[in-house]
């Protein structure tokens, strides 16, 4: 399945060196222009090539090696700066590590030949099919600079002050016009101005847009000049013209709600999708937009008809389990993966189990795949039934050996033709030398402007740091103030807590239902009530007033507790547990084994007011003693039962003998 979209319907230049050397004197270039179905061929000098690019503004300038257009990185950046804003430089053979042009052309079915004109044509045809990488040295941020168009050193018949004020006023007026145009276009930008006597000496606008999107043009007129320059990247960047869709493993759960899950060939989840409205065609379209299926999987056996239809549409391998996947296995396999509903979980589980079955095969194929080839393409074709060797041989076949020789013996030139050729070569060299000198002047001017921009940037950074230091100081003061307020609030809270405890004591003494407490103080013990015999209720009581070893615990509802809840209470080591209702067999066994006394709350007179509760020590002792008596009887019964069991087993063995 092709990963390209559609061919470009725009003007494309294919370029290759015809003669000479870009590092030497006056190279010439074979240029093939492709505009829809029309094609034109020409051989031009470097100077004429640049003029044609500037005048015709092609959508793409394509080559098999960008360093055939520039001798080094600096010259390549200068070439990119000269390109029209709507023109891309494309290297059709790849990014930093390009492939041979013959291999790329064969892969995409484009005619290829050794002569430079044939290579230029192949580059143009490939770029027109969105094959290749755009070469970029600039970001999408553009600097618009409004500055003085002349020196303020002298004004002729003007007084120096009036002349300087007029220039700075003109710069300020132009800066305001530029700002208004940027705002009217709805562009985001930052402005930095240098104020001088009478107005501005300079205004810099950093605009989040490319030059062709900015409604301002570079100009120089009288007192003001406007310059537009894109922001440089740290290096050269290669970006693919067409978005590449990777090979994937697909899991599908069909039904009223259809869910699809995608994994890459390393088993990582790429996307999960579910829908109640999309039909099979829309699901297939969604998969096409997100990847190229290698394996399509279902979580049931046999494969549902809908899943089989989708698998056949991609000509992908299929996977189903030996039996329907149980829910617990699906939950376990997808425990670390994100999904929103059970349908997405089932699709994700199918994809993950399919990947688990194929991972060894994927690794073996990857180990035998040369680094320059697409591992996913090789895996897809091997899963489809081809052998690794056949696929690798097919993808590495350059088709270079079938080119017929087209060499011809050139005729002898006349003396006049030789002279014309020498004069043309001399003109080309002189024009090249002029270009080099002009480029040197431009580079020096650019360097001066760059240094001025760096100085402005340094000043902006210094002002920014000063603002940040002031903000940090303000925040530190605010933090100290909040800390002081917090300390004061905590102190006030402690005072209120102490006051509340004193008020509780006074309230107890003032109410009749606690009037007899003082008289019986020596025979009272505190009781810790727990609403239900559940983990949450025990933890809530522990958080409210604490349950410690030796406490008397009162279970208002003792039913329903299991082993873990009883273990939680036993670990707190209460002195005795008073209960309303009966304990479960599991809870009773845990408390008995830990020798925690348990008795009915009805045997103890418990008096409560709100969360407060007390009981008589003598009543509690009676319950504990009664439990000890019953516990001893229970132990004797256990021993008797154990003895009877041993005797029965012994008799059974004697009978067998």
User: Structure tokens of 33?
Assistant: 């222009």
User: Rounded CA gap, 122 and 117, in Å?
Assistant: 9
Phi, psi of 57 (to 5 degrees): 45, 65
Lowest mean pLDDT among 411-415, 540-544, 601-605: 411-415
What does the pLDDT read at residue 534?
92
Judged by DSSP in three states, 177 sits in helix
Q: Is residue 515 part of a domain?
A: no
Residue 402 has pLDDT above 80, yes or no: no
Q: In the listed set 217, 240, 263, which residue is the last one of a domain according to the structure?
A: 240
Q: Are residues 18 and 111 in the same domain?
A: yes
Q: Is residue 112 part of a domain?
A: yes
Residue 302: asked if its preceding bond is cis (omega within 30°), the reply is yes
Q: Is residue 423 part of a domain?
A: no
Q: Is residue 418 part of a domain?
A: no
What is the per-residue DSSP string for 3-42? -------SEEEEEEEEES-TTSS--EEEEEEEETTEEEEE
Judged by DSSP in three states, 520 sits in coil
Q: Are residues 159 and 217 in the same domain?
A: yes
Q: In the listed set 510, 534, 562, which residue is the last one of a domain according to the structure?
A: 510
What does the pLDDT read at residue 236?
83
Q: In the listed set 222, 240, 258, which residue is the last one of a domain according to the structure?
A: 240
User: Structure tokens of 448?
Assistant: 């001066």
Q: Is residue 410 part of a domain?
A: no
Q: What confidence tier does 496 reach under pLDDT thresholds 50, 70, 90?
A: confident
What does the pLDDT read at residue 345?
94
- The per-residue pLDDT for range 108-159, each reduced to its tens digit, is 778 898 899 999 999 999 888 888 889 988 888 889 999 988 877 654 445 6
Q: Are residues 322 and 264 in the same domain?
A: yes
Residue 59 has pLDDT above 60, yes or no: yes
Q: Are residues 639 and 526 in the same domain?
A: yes
Q: What confidence tier does 58 reach under pLDDT thresholds 50, 70, 90?
A: very high
What does the pLDDT read at residue 71?
84
CB 248 within 8 A of CB 264: yes
Count of alpha carbons within 13 angstroms of residue 228, beta-carbon side: 20
Lowest mean pLDDT among 323-327, 368-372, 550-554, 634-638: 368-372
What does the pLDDT read at residue 484?
92
Exposed, middle or buried, 513 (CB in 10 Å: 0-12/13-18/19+)?
Answer: exposed
Residue 15 has pLDDT above 90, yes or no: yes
Element holding 260 (H helix, E strand): strand 258-263
What does the pLDDT read at residue 567?
92
- The per-residue pLDDT for range 346-357, each reduced to its tens digit, is 999 999 999 999
Q: Are residues 180 and 255 in the same domain?
A: no
Q: What confidence tier does 415 reach under pLDDT thresholds 50, 70, 90?
A: low
Q: Are residues 22 and 125 in the same domain?
A: yes
State the Cα torsion 344-345-346-350 to the nearest 10°.
Answer: 100
What does the pLDDT read at residue 137?
85
Lowest mean pLDDT among 52-56, 93-97, 153-157, 596-600: 153-157
Q: Is residue 395 part of a domain?
A: no
User: Structure tokens of 447?
Assistant: 């360097």
Q: Are residues 75 and 157 in the same domain?
A: no
Q: How many domains does the chain have?
A: 5
User: Rounded CA gap, 616 and 606, in Å?
Assistant: 8
Degrees, nearest 5: CA angle 259-265-271:
30
Q: Are residues 33 and 123 in the same domain?
A: yes
Q: Are residues 176 and 124 in the same domain?
A: no
CB 517 within 8 A of CB 614: yes
CB 80 within 8 A of CB 135: yes
3-state SS, 318-348, equals EECCCCCCCHHHHHHHCCCCCCCCHHHHHHH
Give me the residue label for tokens 């009981």.
Answer: 615
203-225: burial string, b at 16+ Cβ within 10 Å, e else: bbbbbebebeebebeeeeeebbb
Q: Is residue 581 part of a domain?
A: yes
Q: Are residues 206 and 308 in the same domain?
A: no
Lowest mean pLDDT among 549-558, 561-570, 596-605, 637-646: 637-646
User: Rounded CA gap, 31 and 10, in Å?
Assistant: 16
Q: What confidence tier does 634 reach under pLDDT thresholds 50, 70, 90?
A: confident
β-strand partners of 19: 28
What percentage of the chain carries pLDDT values higher than 70?
Answer: 88
Overall size of the chain counted in residues: 657
What does the pLDDT read at residue 535?
92
What does the pLDDT read at residue 420?
80
- The per-residue pLDDT for range 535-588, each reduced to its tens digit, is 999 998 888 777 888 889 999 998 888 899 999 999 999 999 999 988 888 988
- The per-residue pLDDT for range 248-263, each reduced to its tens digit, is 999 999 988 999 999 9
- Measuring CA to CA, how many Å separate 282 from each of 251, 287, 304, 343? 16, 9, 18, 17
Lowest mean pLDDT among 152-166, 270-284, 377-391, 466-480: 152-166
Phi, psi of 189 (to 5 degrees): -155, 165
Q: Are residues 181 and 224 in the same domain?
A: yes
Domain enclosing residue 347, as ranges:
247-357
Q: Are residues 161 and 187 in the same domain?
A: yes
Q: Is residue 379 part of a domain?
A: no
Judged by DSSP in three states, 527 sits in strand
What does the pLDDT read at residue 440?
81
Residue 438 has pLDDT above 90, yes or no: no
Residue 506 has pLDDT above 50, yes or no: no
What percentage of the chain carries pLDDT values higher than 90?
Answer: 30
Strands of 546-620 (E only): list them.
552-555, 576-579, 598-600, 606-609, 612-616
What does the pLDDT read at residue 366?
85
Query: Which has the closest alpha carbon to 92: 26, 180, 4?
Result: 4
What does the pLDDT read at residue 250?
95
């Amino acid at each position: 399945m092709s990963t390209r979209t559609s061919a470009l319907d725009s003007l494309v230049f294919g370029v290759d060196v015809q003669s000479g050397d870009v590092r030497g004197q006056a190279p010439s270039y074979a240029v093939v222009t492709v505009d829809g179905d029309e094609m034109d061929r020409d051989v031009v000098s470097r100077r004429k090539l640049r003029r044609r690019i500037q005048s015709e503004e092609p959508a793409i300038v394509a080559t098999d090696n960008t360093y055939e257009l520039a001798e080094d990185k600096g010259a390549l950046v200068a070439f990119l700066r000269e390109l029209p804003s709507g023109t891309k430089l494309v290297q059709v053979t790849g990014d930093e590590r390009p492939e041979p042009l013959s291999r790329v052309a064969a892969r995409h079915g484009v005619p290829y030949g050794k002569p430079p004109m044939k290579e230029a044509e192949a580059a143009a045809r490939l770029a027109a099919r969105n094959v290749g990488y755009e070469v970029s040295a600039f970001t999408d941020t553009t600097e618009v600079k409004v500055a003085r168009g002349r020196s303020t050193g002298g004004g002729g018949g003007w007084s120096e002050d009036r002349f300087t004020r007029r220039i700075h006023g003109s710069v300020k007026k132009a800066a305001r016009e530029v700002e208004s145009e940027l705002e009217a276009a709805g562009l985001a930008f930052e402005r930095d101005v240098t104020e001088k006597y009478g107005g501005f000496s300079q205004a810099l606008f950093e605009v989040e847009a490319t030059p062709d999107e900015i409604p301002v043009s570079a100009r120089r007129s009288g007192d003001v000049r406007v310059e537009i320059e894109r922001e440089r990247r740290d290096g050269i960047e290669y970006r693919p013209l067409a978005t590449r869709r990777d090979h994937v493993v697909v899991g599908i759960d069909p039904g009223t709600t259809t869910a699809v899950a995608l994994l890459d060939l390393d088993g990582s989840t790429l996307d999960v999708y579910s829908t109640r409205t999309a039909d099979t065609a829309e699901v297939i379209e969604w998969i096409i937009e997100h990847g190229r299926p290698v394996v399509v999987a279902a979580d049931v056996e046999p494969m549902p008809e809908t899943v089989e239809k989708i698998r056949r549409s991609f000509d992908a391998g299929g996977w189903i389990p030996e039996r329907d996947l149980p829910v617990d296995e699906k939950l376990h396999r997808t425990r670390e993966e994100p999904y929103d509903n059970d349908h997405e979980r089932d699709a994700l589980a199918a994809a993950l189990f399919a990947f688990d079955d194929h991972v060894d095969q994927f690794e073996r194929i990857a180990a035998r795949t040369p680094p320059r080839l697409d591992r996913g393409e090789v895996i897809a074709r091997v899963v489809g039934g081809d052998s690794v060797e056949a696929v690798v041989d097919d993808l590495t076949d350059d088709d270079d050996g079938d080119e017929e020789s087209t060499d011809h013996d050139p005729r002898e030139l006349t003396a006049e033709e030789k002279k014309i050729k020498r004069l043309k070569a001399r003109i080309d060299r002189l024009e090249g030398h002029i270009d080099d000198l002009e480029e040197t002047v431009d580079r020096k001017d650019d360097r001066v402007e760059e240094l001025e921009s760096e100085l402005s940037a340094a000043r902006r950074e210094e002002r920014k740091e000063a603002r940040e230091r002031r903000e940090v100081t303000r925040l530190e003061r605010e933090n100290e103030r909040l800390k002081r307020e917090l300390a004061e609030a905590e102190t006030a809270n402690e005072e209120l807590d102490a006051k509340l405890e004193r008020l509780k004591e006074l309230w107890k003494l003032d109410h009749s239902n606690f009037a007899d407490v003082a008289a019986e103080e020596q025979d009272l013990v505190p009781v810790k009530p727990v609403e239900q015999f559940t983990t949450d209720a025990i933890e809530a009581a522990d958080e409210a007033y604490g349950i410690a070893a030796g406490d008397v615990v009162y279970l208002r509802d003792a039913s329903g507790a299991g082993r873990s809840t009883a273990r939680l209470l036993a670990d707190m080591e209460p002195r005795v547990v008073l209960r309303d209702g009966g304990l479960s067999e599991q809870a009773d066994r845990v408390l008995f084994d830990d020798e925690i006394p348990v008795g009915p709350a009805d045997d103890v007179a418990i008096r409560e007011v709100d969360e407060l509760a007390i009981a008589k020590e003598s009543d509690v002792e009676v319950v504990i003693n009664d439990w000890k008596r019953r516990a001893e009887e229970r132990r004797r019964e256990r021993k008797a039962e154990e003895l009877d069991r041993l005797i029965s087993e012994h008799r059974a063995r004697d009978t067998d003998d």
